[in-house]
Amino acid sequence: MMIKAVLFDLDGTFADTAPDLAAALNQVLDEEGEPALPFEIIRPVVSHGGNALIRLGFNFNEQHTDFERLRKRFLSIYQNNISNLTTVFDGIKELLDTLESKQISWGIVTNKPSWLTDPLMEQMGYTNRAATIVSGDTTKEKKPHPEPLFYACREMNCQPSECLYIGDAERDIIAGNSAGMTTITALFGYIEPKDTPENWGADAMIEHPKDIEGFL
């Protein structure tokens, strides 16, 4: 089947958002009188969102009385500094040029909420180029459910079997496989040491965005 569309997870696959997220977390830690965490500790956790980062930074879960206050403060800082240090991963710009030259549609499917996804994509300059941008609150379900991927296919007027989905988390691969897409694990993304991407069931694993061109 000819590939007609390519979909990317956002954090850790399309864009390297970890520097801004790490800076926001460390600012909250500083405000609370806690020591900053090394970037190398924060980076692998970024794909799992704000709750996971608060759990990492403060070593307590959502039931803690301060959790929601700290989460909201973290998100406020991040929202106001969402693209200070964020860039697309090396090779993404060239890949998008290749896709567009081949008239292959591309888009984003992320669990990040739209109030963060939309300004980030706008500030990076990709909103008008993407054929679809599906956030964690665009559909009733979010990944690992396949519904966001089906929504993206409807917007791009293609069948799931004609689409590649690239992500750096197991939920991305589960969602893509459930949707009937060809799935690719981005090993350059935010993968924790305990993760076993070789067991996620993706059709392929890649070390660099340029490797995607071999599937087109």
Active-site positions? 9, 11
**96 exposure class (CB count in 10 Å sphere: 0-12, 13-18, 19+):** buried
User: Which DSSP letter does residue 27 get?
Assistant: H
d(CA 133, CA 113): 11
Nearest Cα to Cα of residue 24 among 11, 15, 37, 9: 37
Structure tokens at 152: 């993206």
* Rg, Å, the chain Cα set: 17
Number of H helices, E strands in the chain: 8, 8
Dihedral angle, C-alpha 131, 137, 140, 146, nearest 10 °: 50
Give 109-143 as a DSSP string.
E-SS-HHHHHHHHHHHT-TTT-SEEE-TTTSSS-T
Whether omega before 113 lies within 30 degrees of 0, making that bond cis, reads no
